[in-house]
Amino acid sequence: MNEENWSFDNVIDRHETQSVKWDIYDKELIPLWVADMDFRAPEPIINAITNRVKHGIFGYSYYFTEYYDAVLGWFKRHYNWKIKRKWLCHTPGVIPAINIALKTYSNPGDKVIVQNPVYYPFFGAIKNSGCQILFNPLISSNGQFQMDYNDLKQKVKDPRAKILILCSPHNPIGRVWTKEELTQLGEICIENEILVISDEIHCDLIYPGYNHTNFATICKDFAMNSITCTSLSKTFNIAGLQLSNIIIPNQKLKHRYRNAIQCLFLPGQFGYLPNTLSLVAFTAAYEECDSWLNSLIQYLHGNLKFLKAFIKEKIPQIKVIEPEGTYLVWLDFRKVGIASNQLEKFLHEKAKVALDDGSLFGNGGEGFQRINIACPRSTLEEALKRILKAVKEIQS
Ligand SMILES: Cc1ncc(COP(=O)(O)O)c(C=O)c1O
What are the residue ranges spanned by the domains of the chain?
A: 3-43+290-391, 59-288
Average pLDDT, the chain: 95
Confidence (pTM): 0.96
Residue 29 CA to residue 358 CA, distance in Å, equals 18
Residue 136 CA to residue 385 CA, distance in Å, equals 36
Q: Ligand 1, from 33, 37, 95, 232: best to mutate by most atoms within 8 Å of Cβ?
A: 95
Averaged over 17-35, what is the pLDDT?
96
State yes or no: pLDDT of 182 exceeds 60.
Answer: yes
Q: What pLDDT sits at residue 1?
A: 44
Averaged over 112-130, what is the pLDDT?
98
Q: What pLDDT sits at residue 6?
A: 63
Nearest atom in ligand 1 to 93's CA: 10
Measure 316 CA to ligand 1 centroid, in angstroms. Answer: 31
- Under 8 Å between Cβ of 42 and 292: yes
pLDDT per residue over 90-116, tens digit each? 999 999 999 999 999 999 999 999 999
SS3 368: strand
Q: What pLDDT sits at residue 143?
A: 77
Measure 287 CA to ligand 1 centroid, in angstroms. Answer: 22
Domain 3-43+290-391 coded CATH 3.50.50.60: no
Averaged over 382-394, what is the pLDDT?
96
Measure 394 CA to ligand 1 centroid, in angstroms. Answer: 35
Residue 39 DSSP one-character state: S
User: Pocket around ligand 1: residues whose beta carbon is below 6 Å from it?
Assistant: 35, 93-95, 119, 167, 171, 199, 201, 231, 233, 239, 244
Q: Is 332 exposed, middle or buried (0-12, 13-18, 19+ CB in 10 A)?
A: middle
Residue with more model confidence, 346 or 272: 346
pLDDT tier at 193, thresholds 50, 70, 90: very high
pLDDT per residue over 146-181, tens digit each? 999 999 999 999 999 999 999 999 999 999 999 999
Averaged over 373-391, what is the pLDDT?
98
At CB < 8 A and 24+ separation, what contacts does 124-132 make? 125/95, 125/98, 125/99, 125/165, 126/102, 126/165, 128/99, 128/102, 128/103, 129/99, 129/102, 129/103, 130/106, 131/102, 131/106, 131/162, 131/163, 132/160
Measure 240 CA to ligand 1 centroid, in angstroms. Answer: 11
pLDDT tier at 271, thresholds 50, 70, 90: low
Q: What angle do CA 303, 119, 82 make, to 5 degrees?
A: 80
pLDDT tier at 388, thresholds 50, 70, 90: very high
Q: Ligand 1, from 100, 114, 171, 176: best to mutate by most atoms within 8 Å of Cβ?
A: 171
Nearest atom in ligand 1 to 233's CA: 10
pLDDT tier at 396, thresholds 50, 70, 90: confident
Instruction: Count how many Cα atoms sit within 13 Å of the Cα of residue 190 in the half-sphere of its side chain.
Output: 16
Nearest atom in ligand 1 to 35's CA: 14
Q: What pLDDT sits at residue 3?
A: 46
The domain defined by 59-288 folds into Aspartate Aminotransferase; domain 2 (3.40.640)
Q: What pLDDT sits at residue 375?
A: 98
Q: What pLDDT sits at residue 268?
A: 56
In the chain, the percentage of residues whose pLDDT exceeds 90 is: 92
Averaged over 277-282, what is the pLDDT?
98
State yes or no: pLDDT of 200 exceeds 50.
Answer: yes
Q: Is 374 exposed, middle or buried (0-12, 13-18, 19+ CB in 10 A)?
A: buried
Q: Is the dihedral of CA 108, 113, 115, 116 positive or negative?
A: positive
pLDDT per residue over 55-99, tens digit each? 999 999 999 999 999 999 999 999 999 999 999 999 999 999 999
Closest CA to 247 of 269, 266, 267, 230: 230
Q: What pLDDT sits at residue 270?
A: 58
Closest CA to 175 of 216, 119, 102, 221: 119
Averaged over 330-343, what is the pLDDT?
96
Q: What pLDDT sits at residue 142?
A: 79
Q: What pLDDT sits at residue 4?
A: 46
pLDDT tier at 33, thresholds 50, 70, 90: very high
Measure 94 CA to ligand 1 centroid, in angstroms. Answer: 6
Same CATH topology for 3-43+290-391 and 59-288: the answer is: no
Q: Is the dihedral of CA 22, 24, 26, 31 positive or negative?
A: negative
